[in-house]
């Protein structure tokens, strides 16, 4: 074989190795997004299981606040539905409504000293608050993973491999307008 043949086959081998490396990196990014979503999913399920206990504990004390309790349970249902359907945009909206409902519930609980002193309520409030913080952290990690994936599949030369192997962009878990507005604390305590 001539020197030109060696060079040609050497370049083909380098190109093939480069394509394999790009493909493997894109696969890794895709699975990082899935892993990040799974981490959120676990926390959402844990919170989903805790909310009925919190509402039932509050219901025993808050006979006149049924509307607040119902909003929390409706939001919980919306989160579960969006989660089951894998609808990230709807999940973001439902999550916002649930966070607002929980904020209202905890604010209203301030008016019930017996409820605030209840050990079960304190435990559930701490547990749900901890889960909310963990969900926020995982949500940030998920969005970062999605962003990295989405940028890579649009950059050259990754774009060629991504299109050829049908890699898709993922949807960010975005905040609703309600979540970005400052909370009116005076309104909550009036």
State yes or no: pLDDT of 93 exceeds 50.
Answer: yes
**Residue-level pLDDT at 35:** 93
User: In the chain, what percentage of residues exceed pLDDT 90?
Assistant: 30
**pTM of the model as a whole:** 0.71
CA 25 to chain centre: 23
Work out the pLDDT band at 178, boundaries 50, 70, 90: low
Q: Does 1.20.1440.20 match the CATH number of domain 3-189?
A: yes
Work out the pLDDT band at 90, boundaries 50, 70, 90.
Answer: confident
Q: Which residue has 């039932």 as its token pair?
A: 56
């Amino acid at each position: 074989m001539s020197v030109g043949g060696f060079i040609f086959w050497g370049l083909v081998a380098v190109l093939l190795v480069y394509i394999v490396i790009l493909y493997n990196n894109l696969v890794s990014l895709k699975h990082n997004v899935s892993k990040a979503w799974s981490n959120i999913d676990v926390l959402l399920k844990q919170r989903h299981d805790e909310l009925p206990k919190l509402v039932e504990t509050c219901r025993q004390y808050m006979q006149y606040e049924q509307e607040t309790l119902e909003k929390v349970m409706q939001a919980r249902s919306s989160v579960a539905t969006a989660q089951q359907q894998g609808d990230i945009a709807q999940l973001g909206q439902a999550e916002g409504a649930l966070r607002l409902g929980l904020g209202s519930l905890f604010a209203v609980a301030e008016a019930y000293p017996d409820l605030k002193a209840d050990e079960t309520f304190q435990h559930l409030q701490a547990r749900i608050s901890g889960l909310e913080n963990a969900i926020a952290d995982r949500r940030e990690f998920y969005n970062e993973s999605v962003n990295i994936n989405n940028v890579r599949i649009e950059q050259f030369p990754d774009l060629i491999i991504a299109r050829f192997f049908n890699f898709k962009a993922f949807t960010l878990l975005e905040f609703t307008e309600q979540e970005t507005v400052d909370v009116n604390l005076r309104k909550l305590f009036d």
